[in-house]
Amino acid sequence: MDKEALLDDLMSNKGTSSLLSGQLAIKVVIDNQYIPPLITGAEEDIGTSFTSLGHVVDSVLSNQIKTIALVGSAGSGKTTALEKFTVDWAKGDHCQKFSHVFLYDLKDLSCDGQYSLKTLIQQNRHPFDPESMALVLQRPENVMFVFDTLDLYKHPLDCSVHTLCSDPSMPITISTLVASLLHGSLLKGATFLVATRPTDSLKFLEGFKLELLGFSKPQREAYFGKFFPDPHVANIAWQNMERTLGFYDFGSSPRFCWTVCSVYKNQLDAGERLPETITEICVNAMAQIVASLALDEVRAREVVLALGRLAAHCCIDPQSTCCKDRIATLGLKRLLNAPVLVHSLLRVDGDMESDQCILSFHSQLMQELLLAVSFLLDKTIAKDATELLNTHEGHVRYLHLYLAGLLNPSQRRPLESLLGAFNDEQLTDFKCWLEASSQKTVEGYHKEKHLTVFRLLHQSQNNVLVKEVITPSARIGISYGGLGLVDCVALNYVVKCLGGMECLNLYLANNLTEEGTDALIPAMGLSQKITLSNSSLSAASVAHIAKALREGITEELDLSNTQLGDANLKVLCSGLRACKLHTLNILASGLTEACCGDLSLALTSSTSQLSVLDLMFNKLGDQGLVQLCQALENPFCKLQELKLRSCQVTAQSMEALSTALCCGQSQLRILDLTGNTIGDIGAEHLCQALQHPHCNLQRLTLFDTELTGRCCPRLAQALRSDHCSLVELDLSVNELGPEGALQLCKALRKPGCPLEKLSLTRCELTQVVFTEFGLLLTSGGSQLKSLSLALNDVGDEGMKSLWKAIADPCCLLEELSIEMTQLTDGSAGDLCASLRASRSLKSLDLSNNMLSDASITALVQVVQDSPFLQEVNLKYNDFSEDVFEIMDQCGKINY
């Protein structure tokens, strides 16, 4: 085929652009406004670099692949991509191995009668000389057919329902002709490029599938740059689009971008602000269409109400179409007498004068807007909001959003100026429904339902309504992890309207994108606590979190189990240096010693407020701790609590830690070194610090740190020191043995020893030690209020001295844990007597022992009668189900 003739034919297309149906495809190409949409289907997103369809086709076609299906949603740019492809081929830009390219719209190939392939080709382009026809038939491998709108093709492609033809001169039905081409019976070896919306017909095509995703953010920016000649105006318009609409799935549609740009241009030319919501953009688009009809208010109202009835029908009909007979039944016949109106709002398939004419809406967005507007506009309607929503449940996506948006007078004003005031009764009815249903929803725990409410409130743009719905009883502290961008925008709006949030819970936010985090910056900045534990965060997302910390009021941030890594923590530290954050939890976040320098810099910033730092389960090592110790010696460091559980710290760094604790600048009060290889030598360094007058440590946890009884003399010496301020000490899961524990007991006897809580769980203690603790508790000098001697096998005999101590009026003990100490029913008498006499004990842990049903009646009675005892843990003893009812009578007992 002559390429110039093809170009002339394409360029002579007499169609027109419209606000909703999009810019005429060939005009986009001619005016050099074409932006290649994003295409997937190969190994990567080919369109990310604005690669044209022609280049994609060139890379995909091979001897094995002869058919390419280009699949995309409505308005994704399929038709424009095909016409651009054809024009580029005709200009010699790509796919030059093809001597002929034929472009057909399949929806136009639904006519009756019979055609041969030759006739079809001759009707496609006039004239088509015999030499070219012979070349097409002789060398089909050099021929490409480009078929558009397969989804609108009315005939089946299933080869089993056709008698396929191989003779290009034989007249056959259009359906058999197209099926014969696509199944390779006719013109075998030819190549096919077929564009369609998702359709069942695709299963009959063998070949390669490309998915047309429309515009990504960079492509939208480029599109706006071509639409608006002034770069400054283009940037303002694009930024507004991204902020208010870019997060919707339809924001990727080139057709929708055309509509948005057209509405924006009208608003900017009129000196008005740009729309903030999807309701506002669509209302303005509808207002432009109605205004262009130059109708009076009464007639314009009639037209919109008629379109609303059509929209109601199409929303329920799965095909979203309406034939001419249905239009007459609905009383909409006058619509057909206004072709400008019809073509502006509707897609017409077939001849307007034909009974086979089918009307459907260009856009589901506009279809549902008309449904919402007609409901709120009609003063004769009998339906209430509940009935309307129930009728269309499962068939609509945007109706609720539009109804919420139209509650705002400023958002419905453009239409009211043309159609008259909306029905106050209908507005009030929907507002009552929205308030009642939303309040009930947010008092529950269903995340998705919460997010639906937030989207409706965002669409309403009504601060007062947000505060009426989100009352103190609303459970908005539940986890909102897994937010899409739309939800991020809506949640951010709600938090801003509320003026703040106690806890922004984004637990398990595995798909939180850079754009989503950016949208949440104001909400994060207004939240006292942010929870992002078990989330997956990119460097860009972390940068936005750091910005929120710098600009906001957040005091607590939980990033535990995020695999944050050293590089991302470095980014976060830029926000830690100047913010109000008091508590940072980065437990199990994939950190190493490489991050400690950045943390140290953040901690020593004069504007840092960080006082609690949880670094547990990170591989910091000794070198990492040494760097943190340098921060502790800085007068600007406000750290009071440091958790270093299982951080691969050893005795080698304990000297540096001891020095930091004694320097006179350290404010550290709480230190957890659980699960590290501290050993006796490391403990000795810590004991030196505990005796120093400048050491402020009050709580020290050395759980499972490979200590032995050899460290106990030093610990005892520290506890006896006049400068020791230690109130809590946990030495559990260490091999202290009886001798070591006895030395600690002697130290605790010293008057003035400040220790109030001691844990010696699983320290290989014996009856002698328990006896000594009994004497200690009754000595009158001990300040112990909490004691754990669990997992030490002393049995009933070993506990006797403790039972006597608990009954003694000199005993101050409030909490006692003797879990798994081999207690039996033989101790029940002494146990009940001591509990009956005790005036201090509030909590007792007897779990994992061998008490049985025989003890339970007396034990429940004494617990129930005690005015001091608040809880008793009896889990995992040898009780049968027969005594569960007895234990249930006492609310203080857990079993």
- Per-residue pLDDT tens for 79-132? 999 999 999 999 999 899 999 999 999 988 866 778 899 998 888 765 788 888
CA 565 to mean position of chain CA atoms: 21
Measured CA to CA, the distance from residue 516 to residue 269 in angstroms comes to 32
Measured CA to CA, the distance from residue 52 to residue 41 in angstroms comes to 14
pLDDT at 501 over 50: yes
Copy the structure tokens of residue 153.
């093709």
pLDDT at 338 over 80: no
pLDDT at 320 over 60: no
Q: Looking at residues 173-180, what average pLDDT do you find? A: 93
Q: Which residues pair with 212 in a beta bridge?
A: 39, 72
Range with the poorest average pLDDT among 210-219, 654-663, 874-883: 210-219
Q: Which residues pair with 612 in a beta bridge?
A: 583, 641
Short-list 484, 320, 286, CA closest to 396: 320
What is the residue-wise DSSP string for 141-205?
GGEEEEEE-GGG--S---GGGS-----TTS-EEHHHHHHHHHTTSSSTT-EEEEEESS-GGGGG-
Q: Looking at residues 515-539, what average pLDDT do you find? A: 96
CA 457 to mean position of chain CA atoms: 18
- Alpha-carbon dihedral of residues 141, 146, 147, 149, nearest 10 degrees? 150
pLDDT at 555 over 90: yes
Chain mean pLDDT for the chain = 92
At 323 the three-state DSSP class reads strand
What is the predicted pLDDT for the residue at 351? 66
What is the predicted pLDDT for the residue at 48? 45
Residue 44 phi, psi (nearest 5): -150, 175
At 641 the three-state DSSP class reads strand
**What is the helix (H) or strand (E) element at residue 529, kind and residue range?**
strand 527-531
Copy the structure tokens of residue 279.
């309701």
Measured CA to CA, the distance from residue 193 to residue 624 in angstroms comes to 60
Is cis: bond before 414, omega within 30 of 0?
no
Sheet containing 191-196: order of strands: 38-40, 208-214, 67-72, 191-196, 143-148, 100-105
Range with the poorest average pLDDT among 112-121, 309-318, 832-841, 852-861: 309-318
Q: Looking at residues 513-535, what average pLDDT do you find? A: 96
Residue type, 328: A
Q: What are all long-range contacts of 392-397, with beta carbons under 8 Å and residues at least 24 apart?
A: 392/312, 392/315, 392/316, 395/315, 395/316, 396/315, 396/368, 396/371, 397/364, 397/368
pLDDT interval class at 466 (50, 70, 90): very high
Range with the poorest average pLDDT among 104-108, 121-125, 443-447, 812-816: 121-125
Using an 8 Å Cβ cutoff, are 52 and 88 in contact? yes
Sequence length of the chain is 895
What is the predicted pLDDT for the residue at 739? 96
pLDDT at 441 over 90: yes
What is the residue-wise DSSP string for 466-522?
HHHHS-TT--TTS---S--HHHHHHHHHHHHHHT-EEEEE-TT-TT--HHHHHHTHH
Measured CA to CA, the distance from residue 197 to residue 214 in angstroms comes to 13
C-alpha distances in angstroms, 716 versus 586, 651, 710, 739, 864? 34, 19, 11, 12, 39
Question: Count of H helices and E strands in the chain?
Answer: 37, 26
What is the residue-wise DSSP string for 792-804?
---HHHHHHHHHH
What is the predicted pLDDT for the residue at 60? 85
CA atoms within a 13 Å half-sphere pointing along the CA-CB vector of 784: 30
pLDDT at 337 over 50: yes
Measured CA to CA, the distance from residue 604 to residue 636 in angstroms comes to 5
Measured CA to CA, the distance from residue 178 to residue 155 in angstroms comes to 9
Q: Cβ–Cβ contacts within 10 Å for residue 549, how many?
A: 26
Spatial neighbors of 326 by CB under 8 A, at least 6 apart, are: 313
pLDDT interval class at 46 (50, 70, 90): very low
Q: Looking at residues 482-502, what average pLDDT do you find? A: 95
Q: Looking at residues 415-422, what average pLDDT do you find? A: 96
At 608 the three-state DSSP class reads coil
**What is the helix (H) or strand (E) element at residue 361, kind and residue range?**
strand 358-361
**What is the helix (H) or strand (E) element at residue 39, kind and residue range?**
strand 38-40
Distance linking the first and last C-alpha atoms of the chain: 87
Strands (E), 627-698: 641-643, 670-672
Residue 36: burial class (beta carbons within 10 Å; 0-12, 13-18, 19+):
buried
Using an 8 Å Cβ cutoff, are 352 and 336 in contact? yes
Pairing relation of β-strands 670-672 and 641-643? parallel
Q: Looking at residues 871-885, what average pLDDT do you find? A: 96
Q: Percentage of residues in the chain with pLDDT exceeding 90?
A: 77
CA 336 to mean position of chain CA atoms: 46
pLDDT at 318 over 60: no
What is the predicted pLDDT for the residue at 294? 86
CA atoms within a 13 Å half-sphere pointing along the CA-CB vector of 4: 0
Kindly report the pTM of this predicted structure.
0.86
pLDDT digits (tens, 9 = 90+) for 733-769: 999 999 999 999 999 999 889 999 999 999 999 999 9
pLDDT at 311 over 70: yes
